[in-house]
Structure 1
Amino acid sequence: MSAEAAELEQRILLRTATSRDATVAGAVLSRAEFAPCACADMAALVHELQRGAGAILLAEEVMDRASMAKLAGALAAQEPWSDLPVIVLARQGADSHAVSVAMDEVSNVTVIERPMRVAALVSAVRTALRARRRQYEMRALLAGLRDADQRKTEFLATLAHELRNPLAPLSTALSLLARKRPAPEEAAKYYELMGRQVDHMVRLVNDLMEVSRITRGKIELHLGPVLLDAVIDDAIELSRPAIERAGHALEVDVSGEPLVVRGDAVRLTQVFSNLLNNAAKYTPAGGRVKLAAWQQQRQAVVQVSDTGAGLAPEMLNAIFEMFVQVSGTAKEAQGGLGIGLTLVKSLVELHGGSVEAASEGVGRGATFTVRLPLSKNGAAPAPQRSQDSWAAVIERVVLVVDDNRDAADSLAELLRTLGATVLVAYSGEEALQLARGQGVEIAVLDIGMPGMDGCELARRLRASPGGAAIRLVALTGWGQQGYRERIAAAGFDHHLLKPLNLAEFMRLLSR
């Protein structure tokens, strides 16, 4: 709201019996640092009311039936949050008909009998304005709720759209595999396609879970000295496919001296890959994306800029709010949930840093600048690349339990290809019967099963003969802290989220 509009909303609209009364009342109110506005007639007062007012001050003498009908109509047309205070200066003596009518037709009326003390008038006006300010606060709250509800509605529609996008090629690829029954060489391209789309859906769900954990203060950082150069290399590697698909030129300018910060390398990689992905998505094909990093005093500064859609001035701060997307850029962005920059801001601030957006305007590109405090403890250890154990063999007896038969059967088949002897059950009771005397070494259990859930099943397996030696793995779609604590209390050794990350699963088994 502009300063002029805010001033209009604090005015006291005066309708007195004479112009002299208006002058005297205006002087009294001005000395008390109010903003009086004298109105020649009721039509003028109604006009000013539509521009903005904090309260109305009426003399009984001007409250004829026609005038009060105009005022009542104007007050009835206000927004639901508004209940404008009306102060009536009544003549001394018996109650008048005009005042009674006013109290019947106008809801928020205060009557002061003349002659009155100046302090009484000032006190009544001050009370009226205080109540009016609370109404303005309610207006702002309602506007915020409306905006949040609108964003939520748009987000749900966007989420449905974004989930349908990968589902379409998945469904098509499955139909082609079923109808054509291609040779393994030809089928490989369909499997790759399906893998890419599944990865995309997993990223969407993971982003949602990350935002949920951050907003509830449940995210956990694994802090240590981190070489920012290595983090940037990892982020570029993650984002390179998106940049190359769009035909963008990528320019990297990283300071020659090592930039070491105290942070979580995985989370910082997420920050910069999100910024690079955004730059790639919001830049028309054949554009330019630049990442620069340097030291500025005791801070590491990382800047990601592009030649893309740009930002209007009013969006420079709003762009970091939950579910906010720049209107008119959906085509350029090829979708998105509007939570990537919220993640960026939250993660950077958790590291004690800051992030800001800059743009010369719509269509003129954007620049995002991240500032992180440099570590005081010198250089970070050399980064170590983890190796996936895809080639490992599981020569063990594995129990798979899930009430979703497709999920259980497909996981069992996958484990068999790795050399495991697999037992499959679709309920807790069935699993207990199947496991007796089978020498189960590893049990992969779904948690949210009807009847006996995975936690209860885990406790019973632990209590069975030889159960202490079973390695229990919870495989579930629930990742919130409360579920993690419940799963740990049930005796599980590991907690993995669906869909199963095979490399992570193999690493757990190899420990």
Structure 2
Amino acid sequence: MASAVLARAQIAAHTCDSLCELVRGLQEGAGVIMLAEEVLADPAAAALTEALGSQPPWSDLPVLVLARQGADSPVIVKAMERLANVTVIERPMRVASLISTVRTALRARNRQYQLRELLDGLRESDQRKTEFLATLAHELRNPLAPMSTALTLLMRKPHEPAEARRYYELMGRQIDHMVRLVNDLMEVSRITRGKIELRMEAIALEAVIEDAIELSRPLLEGARHVLSTELCGEPLVVQGDGVRLTQVFSNLLNNAAKYTAPGGKIRIVLREEGSDAVVEVWDNGTGIAPEMLKSIFEMFVQVSGTSKAAQGGLGIGLTLVKSLVELHGGSVEATSAGLGQGAMFCVRLPLTRVETGMPQSPAPADRGWPASLPGTVLIVDDNRDAADALGELLRSMGVSTRVTYSGDAALRMVAEGPPPGLAILDIGMPGMDGCELATRLRADPALAGLILVALTGWGQHGDKERIAMAGFDHHLLKPLDLPALISTLRPP
């Protein structure tokens, strides 16, 4: 009778002939349980109590008990003690009361389902963010390897300037990679949402591939892999971000190295195909099962049974590759004959036609200190090594510098004279931070022509607004890009 009443109200109901059938049905899910009081005297009620007690934390299944009219029965009292979410409805009852009670219980149950989805989403989001941060932190170690090697070589014996220059250039490129990765750490979601700022220019893919090989060389050589290259005889130019494309091909080379047994063979091919430049990375490693070829580019996906070969990787490298390639208007796909048969990753990028056949290198910029900036440069940073190193760098360019490590000390130094013409201030200093120091320097009439430069690791939108309001003329991010500083200070 209750089932028929609920059906007329368009509420789906399933009738169970026994408590045992009800308990079995709960495994498939339920919105509300409706029981007659008499059923609770069945010995099988203990199984129902156990089933309800084993619900996950988000779940509190509503139980409606249709009770006899009159005094409270011991059965009802015990049921309310054993079963948490119980509503008692006395018989006889109004149809409207039954329907409204059931609908209220169902709405509460739907809220529980929504809470479950929210908790699952938060848990997955938190896990992905944690794994993403861990992976980016891991990728930061890759540029450190060639930098460490270059520093060791420079320290072991004296080098002629021309010979040492290539090591300095190598370290400079690796620092650029690290800076870009650190910027990604500040905006983790940008990569998965495709919100990366690309610095597009005409670049030769041959140079990008050579940089990627250099970046991946420690991993390749550590596993004793044999790397061969087949580059196109003519320059292939694309419109892209050189650092990001280097990251793409370095990730593909790293992926090949990780999933190939020591002493394996890896090959990278660059060719022209129609209006596209095609880059193929081949390996004779563990291969990819056919059912994994499409999902291999999804976040944190790894080929089954290869996590050990991946050296603990979290499966984000190929996701980054796909996102970055698509942001360049290209595509990437994987092919493999199966597990144990190696794999090939093919990247296609649209070619850019350059009239001269090659992007022209910009003329060497005048990197000297602007002669229009007379006077002393004041450097303030609580990181003593950073402040001293920047002071030495500017002095090597013939600049008169004064270095101090706190806001209070800077004010005393300025009061003693001579007044500086330029001040480079850190922001995140203890005590008086850079913004407060800038405000106090701006309030001094004797420093009316002072140029203020913020050099800091804080680069979010809110930070930029706060720094501008403090009276800074320029805002630069650490580590210092000296040519950028000089170009900023030069008059237009």
Alignment TM-score > 0.5, same fold: yes
Counterpart residue number, 2:261: none
Q: Bigger CA drift: 281-290 or 70-79?
A: 281-290
Conservation of the 8 A alpha-carbon contact between 1:54 and 1:85:
yes
Identify the match of residue 45 of structure 1 among 6, 9, 22.
22
Change (3 A) 1:494 1:55: same
Conservation of the 8 A alpha-carbon contact between 1:46 and 1:74:
yes
Identify the match of residue 429 of structure 1 among 381, 394, 408.
408
> What's the secondary structure of 2:479's corresponding residue?
coil
Counterpart residue number, 1:242: 215
Conservation of the 8 A alpha-carbon contact between 1:301 and 1:370:
yes
Counterpart residue number, 2:37: 60
Deviation at 1:401, TM superposition (A): 1.5
What residue ranges of structure 1 are gaps of 5+ in the alignment?
A: 1-20
> What's the secondary structure of 1:478's corresponding residue?
coil
Deviation at 1:76, TM superposition (A): 0.8
Over residues 263-299 of structure 1, what are the superposed CA-to-partner deviations in whole Å (9 max), with x where a residue is unaligned?
xx54xx4553332222111112532446788899xxx
- Distance in 1 separating the partners of 2:235 and 2:207: 18
Conservation of the 8 A alpha-carbon contact between 1:72 and 1:105:
yes
Counterpart residue number, 1:36: 14
Conservation of the 8 A alpha-carbon contact between 2:251 and 2:321:
no
Supply the AA of the counterpart residue of 1:475. L
> What's the secondary structure of 2:26's corresponding residue?
helix
Equivalences for residues 30-179 of structure 1 within 5 A: 32=10, 34=12, 36=14, 38-39=16-17, 41-64=18-41, 66-91=43-68, 95-114=72-91, 125-154=102-131
Counterpart residue number, 2:368: 392
- Distance in 2 separating the partners of 1:145 and 1:355: 31
Counterpart residue number, 1:471: 451
Supply the AA of the counterpart residue of 1:491. G
Over residues 392-451 of structure 1, what are the superposed CA-to-partner deviations in whole Å (9 max), with x where a residue is unaligned?
356664222112111111111122222222221222333344346436343222112233
> What's the secondary structure of 2:437's corresponding residue?
helix
Counterpart residue number, 1:8: none
Counterpart residue number, 1:14: none
- Distance in 2 separating the partners of 1:53 and 1:170: 61
Deviation at 1:157, TM superposition (A): 5.3
Conservation of the 8 A alpha-carbon contact between 2:297 and 2:322:
no
Equivalences for residues 191-340 of structure 1 within 5 A: 198=175, 201-211=178-188, 230=203, 235-236=208-209, 238-242=211-215, 246=220, 248-249=227-228, 265-266=240-241, 269=242, 271-284=244-257, 286-289=265-268, 307=283, 324=300, 326=302, 329=307, 332=310, 338=316
Identify the match of residue 470 of structure 2 among 490, 496, 499.
490
Change (3 A) 1:198 1:236: closer
Change (3 A) 1:90 1:141: same
What residue ranges of structure 2 are gaps of 5+ in the alignment?
A: 221-225, 258-263
Counterpart residue number, 2:158: 183
Change (3 A) 1:124 1:347: farther
Over residues 351-373 of structure 1, what are the superposed CA-to-partner deviations in whole Å (9 max), with x where a residue is unaligned?
9x79786666777647587899x
What is the TM-score when the length of structure 2 is the normalising length? 0.71
CA RMSD of aligned residues (A): 5.3
Conservation of the 8 A alpha-carbon contact between 1:255 and 1:295:
no
User: Identity rate of aligned residues, in percent?
Assistant: 47
Change (3 A) 1:193 1:236: closer
- Distance in 1 separating the partners of 2:293 and 2:29: 28
> What's the secondary structure of 1:287's corresponding residue?
strand
Deviation at 1:212, TM superposition (A): 6.2
> What's the secondary structure of 2:57's corresponding residue?
coil
- Distance in 2 separating the partners of 1:416 and 1:471: 18
Supply the AA of the counterpart residue of 2:454. A
Q: Bigger CA drift: 438-447 or 386-395?
A: 386-395
Counterpart residue number, 1:18: none
Change (3 A) 1:169 1:487: same
Change (3 A) 1:279 1:37: farther
Conservation of the 8 A alpha-carbon contact between 1:447 and 1:474:
yes
Conservation of the 8 A alpha-carbon contact between 2:67 and 2:90:
yes
Conservation of the 8 A alpha-carbon contact between 2:129 and 2:188:
no
Q: Bigger CA drift: 55-64 or 325-334?
A: 325-334
Counterpart residue number, 1:17: none
Conservation of the 8 A alpha-carbon contact between 1:254 and 1:294:
no
Supply the AA of the counterpart residue of 2:52. L
- Distance in 1 separating the partners of 2:490 and 2:430: 32
